[in-house]
Amino acid sequence: MNLIEKYNVSTSEDQMQKAVADYFAAYEFDRLTGHEWQGVKGTIYREVTIPNIGRRSDIIVKVTDYKIFNIECKTNDIAGVIEQAKDHLYWADYSYICVHAKTYIAPYHVTTMIENGIGLLLWQNSNQSDMRVEAIVDVFGAGKNTYSDGKKNKSIREMVLKRLKKIDSKVTAESHEQLSI
């Protein structure tokens, strides 16, 4: 059962992705440097294709080469988004799903997420009459992906890191091009 249609809430995955990207862009992650903890911001990537698993990642947050988050957003289809998040565990350190706050999530889906270390974010958009501001609510966090049975694939991870580096290079080149015009 999906409550979004019942409440006639206008939503789009693009709106949700923008809200999630803004949420993680503002977030400071703890990082130990030397003997002190300091807050660092992650680099946000949207719509990154991961051909080795036949998926496109909605949002990737790279804090370090050893702390990479994947977030999949869906306005509905809980079972499908959980499968996507599980597939991204082949390379990501943490995997989340984000769904609309009024989407029904069956208890067995919650159990599946917890068993696989998948975190849950809820999105409520600002154009709903009963909600004043757009917000992301972190219901439960993702567990560190520590597959000991070989599910985490180093070659896929290296390919993702190369792809992110290529995106960074392209963005840097474009910004230098804009400055020289």
How do residues 36-65 score in pLDDT, each as one tens digit? 777 788 899 999 988 888 889 999 999 888
Cα separation, 123 vs 110, whole angstroms: 16
The predicted structure's pLDDT at residue 66: 83
Tokens found for residue 19: 């809200």
* Contact present, 95 and 117 (Cβ < 8 Å): yes
**Tell me, what CATH number does 13's domain have?**
3.40.1350
For residue 165, which phi and psi values (nearest 5 degrees)? -65, -40
Say what the pLDDT of residue 149 is.
Answer: 55
Q: Per the structure, how many domains does the chain have? A: 1
Query: What does each of the 181 residues of the chain score in pLDDT, given as a tens digit?
Result: 455 444 444 568 888 899 899 888 888 887 766 677 777 888 999 999 888 888 899 999 998 888 899 999 998 889 999 999 999 998 999 999 999 988 889 999 999 999 999 999 999 876 654 555 568 887 888 888 766 555 678 888 899 999 999 888 877 666 555 444 4
Domain range for 135: 3-180
pTM of the model: 0.79
